[in-house]
């Protein structure tokens, strides 16, 4: 694989690009697992998984076969996530142990709390559904969930603990209360949603940013689509750079993330696309190109999370606010 790596707070390294495994509603678990097998053959060594994706058992077969075939376990960086219905401390452990069993591993290189909102909705939930048990962010509850993940780090079942889908105001509350600081945070990240304040806050605190939907999530579920959504790969800056470089628009988007210091985790099951995206590690953008891409930011959130809204919530924008404990903050883009 490319020698380009990222160094985490403890000095260990992780690959600068990974492969996602959320197949949305378009691909079967078997197709996603086959995509991971293809990706490993190309040279990917970072695999981003999640319990809720429903495919960790088949991905585990692929990982076990690759390791048995001579791929050293220490070259792999396998990540998973605790879903929203496992926020209770004892359920955090159960989630991680189940993921380890399915993935056929004795430890996860990283584990994230998938969303900071407890509920039971998973794949297949409709945009208008409401889980009667869903709740907005509650700091005390969240920190109990985080403490349970810290215990698994202490035991060696998880090497690095991570946050996901958080905002600056949430981080301002979470980080001071952590016994173990997060090593990584997953955020939606693509040229039209750059989350500059959040990105800088994470960098300033030594937290590696992992960017999902680096292509602007063209295969995202219908529930997350609205008429105002923008298409990153149709952005004039992306088109111009791709044409001048003689590369795909997708490669430009992924290269932009890598050049920014983000670890992108694009999803594909097609070999030619996976090969193309992997080549993004070798594409160095000029300051002028980076400036042009920086100007494409439109606060264009595509993974809106409507299915996680609690009863009585106004809109998906409420997910990106806090629970009213930070007066005067009403934004959703950070």
User: Which amino acids are annotated catalytic?
Assistant: 53
Name the strand (E) or helix (H) holding 102.
helix 89-103
Q: Which of 296, 303, 123, 165 is nearest to 225 (CA)?
A: 303
Residue 163: beta bridge partners? Answer: 185
Cα 172–chain centre separation: 20
Alpha carbon distance 206, 200 (integer Å)? 10
Q: Show the tokens assigned to 248.
A: 């795909």
On whether the CB atoms of residues 119 and 98 are closer than 8 A, the answer is no
Q: Give phi and psi for 85, each to the nearest 5.
A: -90, 10
Strand 5-7 relative to strand 13-15: parallel, antiparallel, unpaired?
antiparallel
Residues 276, 263: Cα–Cα separation, whole Å: 16
Give the residue from 176, 173, 171, 177 showing the smallest Cα distance to 197. 171
Report DSSP letters for 257-288, one per residue: HHHHT-EE------HHHHHHHHGGGG-PPPHH
DSSP letter (8 states) at residue 310: P
Binding site annotation covers 114? Answer: yes
Distance CA 235, CA 251 (A): 14
- Cβ atoms of residues 110 and 77 within 8 Å: yes
CA-to-CA dists, residue 291 to 247, 277, 300, angstroms:
19, 21, 18
Cα 151 → chain centroid: 22
Structure tokens at 309: 């809204």
What is the edge-to-edge ordering of all strands in the sheet holding 46-48? 19-20, 46-48, 77-82, 110-113, 161-164, 184-188, 208-212, 263-264
Report the binding-site residues. Answer: 114
Report the binding-site residues for substrate. Answer: 114
């Amino acid at each position: 694989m490319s020698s380009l790596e990222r160094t985490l707070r403890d000095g260990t390294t992780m690959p600068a690009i990974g492969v996602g495994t959320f197949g949305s509603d378009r691909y079967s678990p078997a197709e996603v697992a086959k995509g991971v097998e293809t990706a490993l053959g190309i040279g990917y060594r970072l695999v981003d998984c999640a319990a809720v994706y429903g495919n960790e058992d088949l991905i585990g077969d692929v990982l076990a076969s690759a390791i048995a075939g001579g791929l050293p376990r220490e070259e792999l960086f396998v990540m998973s996530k605790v879903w929203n219905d496992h926020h209770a401390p004892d359920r955090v452990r159960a989630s991680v142990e189940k993921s380890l069993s399915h993935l056929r591993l004795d430890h996860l290189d990283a584990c994230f709390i998938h969303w900071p909102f407890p509920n039971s909705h998973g794949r297949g939930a409709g945009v208008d559904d409401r889980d009667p048990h869903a709740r907005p962010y509650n700091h005390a509850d969240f920190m109990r969930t985080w403490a349970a993940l810290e215990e698994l780090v202490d035991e060696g079942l998880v090497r690095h603990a991570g946050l996901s889908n958080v905002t600056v105001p949430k981080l301002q509350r979470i980080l001071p209360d952590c016994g173990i600081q997060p090593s990584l945070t997953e955020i939606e990240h693509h040229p039209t949603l750059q989350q500059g304040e959040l990105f800088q806050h994470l960098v300033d605190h030594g937290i590696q940013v992992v960017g999902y939907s680096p292509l602007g999530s063209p295969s995202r579920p219908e529930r997350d689509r609205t008429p105002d959504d923008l298409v990153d790969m149709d952005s004039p800056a992306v088109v111009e750079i791709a044409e001048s470089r003689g590369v795909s628009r997708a490669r430009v988007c992924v290269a932009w993330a890598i050049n920014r210091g983000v670890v992108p985790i694009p999803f594909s099951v097609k070999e030619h696309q996976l090969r193309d995206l992997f080549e993004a590690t070798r594409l160095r953008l000029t300051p002028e190109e980076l400036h042009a891409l920086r100007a494409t930011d439109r606060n264009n959130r595509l993974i809106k999370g409507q299915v996680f809204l609690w009863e009585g919530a106004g809109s998906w924008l409420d997910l990106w606010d806090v629970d009213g404990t930070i007066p005067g903050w009403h934004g959703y883009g950070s």
